[in-house]
Amino acid sequence: MKGLSVRLEKKKKYRWQGVLALICVFFVFAVAIYTFFYLRHDPTLTNLNGRLQGVSLQHPLGTDQLGRDVLTRLLLGGQQTIGYSLMALSVALLIGIPFGLIAGFKRGLIDRIFMRIADGFLAFPDTIVAIVLSGILGPGIGNLVLAIVMVKWVSYARLVRSTVLSESQKDYVLIALTNGLSMSKIMKRHLFPHIVGHVLVLASLDLGKIILLISAFSYIGLGTQPPNPEWGAMLNDSRPYFQSRPELMIYPGLAIVAVVLLTNMLGDYLRDRFDVKKEVQQ
């Protein structure tokens, strides 16, 4: 009894956190979309007379070492960082989920081949694959996204596969089969809803990691290339000016921390909501 009461209490607390995280995430998205349509300043327009300015009405967060408006670049950078992360994540999902569904449901040769491939990919950690890929294909955000997709689809496919394997043993799938439902219908109607929760949890926990990876790689020059305003790249650009203007270091860093914190909170909330524990934790 004691264990039960502790659990419920914990759940309640997370619900509050989750709603807050959800609202904030929507807010961030709204801002990102808003910037897409309305920009006060050109993010790449340099103005050497107005470099390293302080706070003013025209430039609410000042200007950077080339006289570019920091707020505009920060917002646009968010759009880039979050946008590319979401892109990588959704492509990985689009590849991973069908693969896992088929491998888990059909079994046999397809499954065995898949497991071999997955083991091969999993032997190599994601950061290494990202470095290797930008090494082979050259640095750039496209290749970085490709590397993330290459690493991440495997974990989704594996998650989906294991869920499908355990679900398809259950009676309701058997009944559906004996009722003459086609494979694709069983996958769509019965198995897919089951895996959505698991996948959503893993995806939201991954999003933060992907954002960190993209900004770190952009910082070391293997991600977005200048003058694109990505948060990591912004930190790299303005590094020589930190001593005189530490804000240039603070803003992009805080932006990354805030967004990753939010996605992690959202992931934790979803994990409790869908009650997924062991399978998702790597």
* Rounded-to-integer distance, Cα 116 and Cα 24, Å: 41
CB distance 280 to 201 below 8 Å: yes
* Rounded-to-integer distance, Cα 201 and Cα 267, Å: 6
DSSP characters over 73-141: HHHHHHHHHHHHHHHHHHHHHHHHHHHHHHHHHH-HHHHHHHHHHHHHHHHS-HHHHHHHHHHHH-SSH
CB distance 94 to 148 below 8 Å: no
Closest contact distance (angstroms) between CB of 46 and another protein is 23
Residue 46 or 65 with smaller CB distance to another protein: 65
Residue 95 or 249 with smaller CB distance to another protein: 249
Which residues here bind another protein, judged by CB under 8 A?
119-120, 123-128, 130-132, 134-139, 208, 212-213, 215-216, 219-222, 232, 235, 239, 242-243, 246, 249, 253, 256-258, 260-261, 264, 282
Residue 132 or 174 with smaller CB distance to another protein: 132
Closest contact distance (angstroms) between CB of 252 and another protein is 8
Q: 85 phi and psi, to 5 degrees?
A: -65, -45
Residue 127 or 166 with smaller CB distance to another protein: 127
CB distance 228 to 68 below 8 Å: no
Closest contact distance (angstroms) between CB of 281 and another protein is 9
Closest contact distance (angstroms) between CB of 258 and another protein is 8
Contacts of 158 (CB under 8 A, 6+ apart): 100, 118
Closest contact distance (angstroms) between CB of 189 and another protein is 34
What is each CA distance from 248 to 48, 172, 228, 232, in whole angstroms?
Answer: 17, 58, 16, 12
Closest contact distance (angstroms) between CB of 77 and another protein is 13
Residue 154 or 186 with smaller CB distance to another protein: 154
Residue 173 or 252 with smaller CB distance to another protein: 252
What is each CA distance from 96 to 144, 212, 274, in whole angstroms?
Answer: 18, 22, 20
